[in-house]
């Protein structure tokens, strides 16, 4: 099966890291197609960044060969429901996948993410995914997304310290990493913390494989039906939904 792993920020080095995390867990018959959005923010750290990232993400689903499943590899899960409208292949967000994975192996988890503003956005996701009973706390490290790639930033030590505080103070028994750019920290943190550490990229790949393996597709009944045909004007005219047929499937 083909799983398209889309980095909705435009930083290719982060896509390489994400692709490696995905390929590490993928089953032998799974091909991971890693893509970087061609338009949008270099990193996604706020509501505006998220909104501006969605067209680049949508382009990656509409253009190119179809995949059996799509993964949005940014912890804000930007454009998740919109993406589900334009294909009947399963679409998974990494925050959603990581939080669900955590519920199977721990009764409570903490999310350790990047900036305070991203922490607040993650809290919104916790509520919209119905994870309030499982997520004990969302914690910020004040490490910006692109600083994760800077060896001089001390990001590793800062994230480890926040995870330790989470385990000491939150009554959590697992850590969810709150950024795709943290995917390479799993082993390091598990060694130090001795609790499960969940990277959403890996979780989403395995869950996508499971859904495709079960022959499940996104329901086209109700709000995930294809977008209604209508004109979109101005800069978005090329995106006008054409009709009831799926745009990509
Ligand atoms: C992210 C992420 O995963 N990629 C990105 O650009 N921003 N999320 C985050 N919580 O900072």
The finding on whether 45 has its CB within 6 A of some atom of ligand 1 is yes
Radius of gyration of the chain (CA): 18
Contact criterion met (CB below 8 Å) for 138 and 118: no
Q: How far apart are CA 33 and CA 3, in angstroms?
A: 6
Phi, psi of 227 (to 5 degrees): -55, 145
- From first to last of its 249 residues, what are the pLDDT tens digits of the chain? 999 999 999 999 999 999 999 999 999 999 999 999 999 999 999 999 999 999 999 999 999 899 999 999 999 999 999 999 999 999 999 999 999 999 999 999 999 999 999 999 999 999 999 999 999 999 999 999 999 999 899 999 999 999 999 999 999 999 999 999 999 999 999 999 999 999 999 999 999 999 999 999 999 999 999 999 999 999 999 999 986 656 655
With a CB cutoff of 8 Å and minimum separation 6, the contacts of 80 are 72, 91, 93, 96
Q: Kindly report the number of other CB atoms within 10 A of residue 23's CB atom.
A: 14
Q: Which residues pair with 139 in a beta bridge?
A: 112
Please state the atom number of ligand 1 nearest to the C-alpha of residue 49: 6
| Cα separation values, 16 from 7, 69, 138, 184, Å | 9, 19, 27, 11
The finding on whether 15 has its CB within 6 A of some atom of ligand 1 is no
**How far away, in angstroms, is 104 Cα from ligand 1 center?**
24
- Residue among 5, 7, 9, 112 whose CB has most ligand 1 atoms within 8 A, to mutate: 9
Q: Is beta strand 2-7 parallel, antiparallel or unpaired with respect to 69-72?
A: parallel
**DSSP alpha helices (H): ranges in the chain?**
12-25, 47-62, 80-85, 94-105, 116-128, 155-169, 186-193, 200-213
């Amino acid at each position: 099966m083909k799983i398209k792993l889309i980095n909705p920020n435009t930083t290719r080095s982060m896509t390489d890291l994400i692709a490696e995390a995905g390929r590490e867990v993928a089953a032998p018959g799974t091909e991971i197609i890693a893509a970087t959005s061609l338009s949008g923010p270099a990193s996604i750290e706020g509501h505006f960044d998220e909104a501006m990232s969605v067209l680049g993400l949508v382009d990656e689903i509409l253009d190119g060969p179809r995949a059996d499943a799509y993964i949005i590899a940014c912890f804000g899960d930007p454009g998740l429901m919109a993406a589900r409208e334009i294909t009947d292949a399963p679409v998974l967000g990494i925050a959603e996948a990581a939080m669900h994975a955590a519920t199977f192996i721990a009764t409570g988890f903490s999310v350790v993410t990047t900036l305070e503003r991203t922490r607040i956005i993650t809290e919104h996701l916790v509520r919209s995914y119905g994870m309030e009973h499982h997520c004990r706390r969302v914690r910020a490290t004040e490490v910006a997304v692109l600083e994760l790639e800077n060896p001089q930033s001390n990001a590793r030590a800062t994230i480890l310290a926040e995870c330790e505080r989470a385990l000491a103070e939150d009554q959590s028994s697992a850590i969810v990493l709150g950024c795709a750019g943290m995917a390479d920290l799993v082993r390091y943190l598990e060694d130090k913390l001795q609790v499960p550490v969940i990277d959403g990229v890996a979780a989403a790949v395995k869950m996508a494989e499971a859904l495709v393996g079960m022959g499940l597709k996104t329901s086209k009944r109700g709000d995930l039906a294809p977008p209604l045909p209508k004109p979109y004007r101005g800069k978005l005219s090329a995106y006008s939904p054409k009709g009831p047929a799926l745009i990509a499937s």
